[in-house]
Structure 1
Amino acid sequence: MNAPAALAVTRATVLRTLRDRTALFFMLLLPVAVIVVIGAVVGGFGGFRIGVVHADEPSRAPVAAALAGELERADGLKTRTYADEAAARTALRRGETDAVVLVPAGLDAAAREGRPVTVPVLVPESAAMGGAAVSSVSAAVARHAAEVQAARFAADEAGGTFDQRLDQARAAGRHVTPIEVGTEAVSGRSQYLPLGYGYSTPTMLVLFVFINALAGGAAIVETRRSGVYGRALASPAGAGTLVLGETAAYLILALIQSALIVGIGALAFGVSWGDPLAAALLVGVWALVGTGAGMLSGAVFRTPEQAGAIGPAVGIGLGMLGGCMWPLAIVPDWLRTVGHTVPHAWAVDSWTVLLSQDGGVLDIARNLAVLAAFAAGLLALAAIGLRRRLTGP
């Protein structure tokens, strides 16, 4: 094995790739763009969308208008007023709202007279969000009802008009310190990556390192076809030296891309990558998996066009199967099992442990071993295939 010759091959391949603007676009700009889009789409829960329909004209029904105001101010609710119930029902069917509050006619008169009032809330029949939305609406309605009851009681016991006592009840409510209920997950074992960029950045790292490596196999195919390898084999450098040099180059490129995504995720998007040692090991092992895939692409495909067209399509398909597009925790058991036949699922599982479960090296040791086995298998197949391409007829 000629080490200087292998280093020369590595240096030439790395420099050629870094000077290629198209390659840099796919290595850096495209992954970042996809991270931003997906991170924004799954950016987390922004509040229940609540439609409000007034049966009475709000300007003539101050109590009903105050109820709508309470819904607007409530945490976790985004309200929108609809002209009539038909329009609100249409929006509900289209998924534009999570629930619709029908402020009933005669609400003001009933409040002044102390009669009970029912506030209907419409939710989609099969929507899981509906029940949670109703709970949030009920809390806001209960706060408003408490003010109305206090005003009714004060007007009956101390005199004065209902409207005067209602204003006093609202003013007093603003000076009351609320009692909040805090929740804390103890020993949480979330099976999902954090929403937002905490989801998109690690999954896109897994996806694009693999895709770019597969597409990069086109450079090996082109080098084979151009006769560069043939001329190199006429020198003291053997086929093993060329394979080693190309392998080192693809590993360096995979690590560069991984480091860029990790750095941009941490600095620009505030992504926490968990335990540093575990994250570094995972990035390194995944870079080896990508290296093996890229080298195998260069050995298998006959033309650069095949590698450039088929390679990314295969990478995207495997990424979808392995949970880069959606969590495997939400798919059927059989599909989850099939997904773990590809290395992507083991990588995404590992990031889930690190980012959502505060895991360390020991917690992902089994996954790292599986990924290392994938990397070893891909590298071995690539080395055998490429040597045959270089030394064959």
Structure 2
Amino acid sequence: ALMRRVLAIAALNLRELTRDRTEFVSVIVLPLLLTWVFGTAFGSSGVERPLEIPVADKDGSAYSQALVARIADAPAFDVKPMTDAEARALVREGDAPVAVIVPAGFGAALEQSATPSVEVVSDPSSQRAQAALEVVRGAATRTSADVVAARAAARVLYAAPPAFAEGFSAADGIAEPVTVKAVTVRLSGSRASELEAPANTQYSLGFTVFFVFMVALGSAGGVLEERELGTLRRLLAAPARKAEILGGKVTGIAFVAAFEAAMLVGFGALFFGVPWGKDPAAVALLLLALVLAATGLGVMLSALVRTRSQLSAIGPVLSTALAMLGGCYWPIEITS
């Protein structure tokens, strides 16, 4: 009976919330709209994408294709085939740090024991141009090793270019004697410059925390409004103890905050792919702590202020200030 009366009072608060269009907009429409706007506008700006390297293969032989494939093997670079003019234009306009131009006759020159050159057009003002240049040099070094092996095989066999082509293919297929294995280490203490979440993830998580507190404060203001309108006095005259009434009010605030948290978590996971982890129970406990904290703050402020208008003036300022200090709007690491 006790729990039934508490839940009945909580349900009454929820019904009052759904009747108020302003509250409906502030609880559902506004949080979803702001999360979508900021998450879409900034996208995944916190993620470093592979560097695009325009490559113009004017030769089109198996040898030039092997060279381009070596460049494409670099995980931090994305090869974009295009024409010579297009590749040079991208570097000239500052849209690419380097461009690789493989000249026509590259493969024929290798078969004739000549020394062809690969042209690399670079932007000296780009900080990533040197890294891209080293990748191209590494690919050229491996191709040169294949050429040396193929020429040696051709000389031994006293054969024509077909023997060179077969030797090159065989040498290119041999695994490199020395390889580098990359190991990713998770940093125990990181700075924003070292580890940064995508912008849409940051805003989704931040607005979840922010709006849970905002909604809890707004729902707690309903108690003050009832006191101003006199409905709280009638509620106290009902056949229910004050503890039950207080429990129902607090439960109603917690229900609204929990609904807000679940709604924004689901929205972030569905539309922005926010990684909430593989343990739903742990996520639920984390959100429960957030809901209880927001509920406690709302109840405390409703006891300290006298009117709903006072809470409406203090609540947004306090929530915004705490959100800024807590890292809801930007990674907290950048404030250190």
Q: How much has 1:232 moved relative to structure 2?
A: 1.6
The separation in 2 between residues aligned to 1:163 and 1:73, in whole angstroms, is: 27
Q: How much has 1:108 moved relative to structure 2?
A: 5.3
SS in 1 for 2:79: strand
The separation in 1 between residues aligned to 2:52 and 2:179, in whole angstroms, is: 23
Mean Cα displacement is larger for which, 32-41 or 283-292? 32-41
Q: Which residue pairs with 1:302 in the alignment? A: 309
Superposition pairs of residues 291-370 of structure 1, within 5 angstroms: 291-292=295-296, 294=298, 302=309, 311=316, 319-329=323-333, 331=334, 335-336=335-336
CA deviations on 1:214-263 (whole Å, 9 max, x unpaired) are: 25645555775577752222443699876654433222222333345556
Runs of 5+ consecutive residues of structure 2 not aligned to the other structure: none
User: What's the Cα RMSD here?
Assistant: 5.0
Q: How much has 1:287 moved relative to structure 2?
A: 1.9
Q: How much has 1:50 moved relative to structure 2?
A: 0.8
Superposition pairs of residues 257-268 of structure 1, within 5 angstroms: 257-260=260-263
Q: How much has 1:41 moved relative to structure 2?
A: 1.5
Q: Which residue pairs with 2:256 in the alignment? A: 253
Superposition pairs of residues 47-196 of structure 1, within 5 angstroms: 47-53=50-56, 57-58=58-59, 63-64=63-64, 66-72=66-72, 75-80=75-80, 81-84=82-85, 86-91=88-93, 93=94, 96-103=95-102, 111=110, 112-115=112-115, 117=117, 119-120=119-120, 122=122, 125=125, 127=127, 129-162=128-161, 164-171=163-170, 173-174=172-173, 176=175, 181-185=180-184, 188-189=187-188, 191=190
SS in 1 for 2:255: helix
Change (3 A) 1:274 1:200: farther
Q: Contact (CA 8 Å) 2:53, 2:78: kept in 1 or not?
A: yes
CA deviations on 1:171-199 (whole Å, 9 max, x unpaired) are: 553465887543435674153798778x8
Q: How much has 1:273 moved relative to structure 2?
A: 2.9
Supply the AA of the counterpart residue of 1:322.
Answer: G
Sequence identity percentage: 23
SS in 2 for 1:50: strand
Question: How high is the TM-score relative to the length of structure 1?
Answer: 0.58
Supply the AA of the counterpart residue of 2:89.
Answer: A
The separation in 2 between residues aligned to 1:132 and 1:243, in whole angstroms, is: 64
The separation in 2 between residues aligned to 1:315 and 1:178, in whole angstroms, is: 60
Supply the AA of the counterpart residue of 2:230.
Answer: G
Mean Cα displacement is larger for which, 67-76 or 263-272? 263-272
SS in 2 for 1:41: coil
Supply the AA of the counterpart residue of 1:288.
Answer: L
SS in 1 for 2:309: coil
Change (3 A) 1:321 1:10: same
Runs of 5+ consecutive residues of structure 1 not aligned to the other structure: 337-393
Give the number of equivalent residue pairs: 319
Q: Which residue pairs with 1:283 in the alignment? A: 287
Q: Contact (CA 8 Å) 1:47, 1:77: kept in 2 or not?
A: yes
Q: Contact (CA 8 Å) 1:53, 1:101: kept in 2 or not?
A: yes
Q: Contact (CA 8 Å) 2:207, 2:328: kept in 1 or not?
A: yes
The separation in 2 between residues aligned to 1:7 and 1:236, in whole angstroms, is: 16
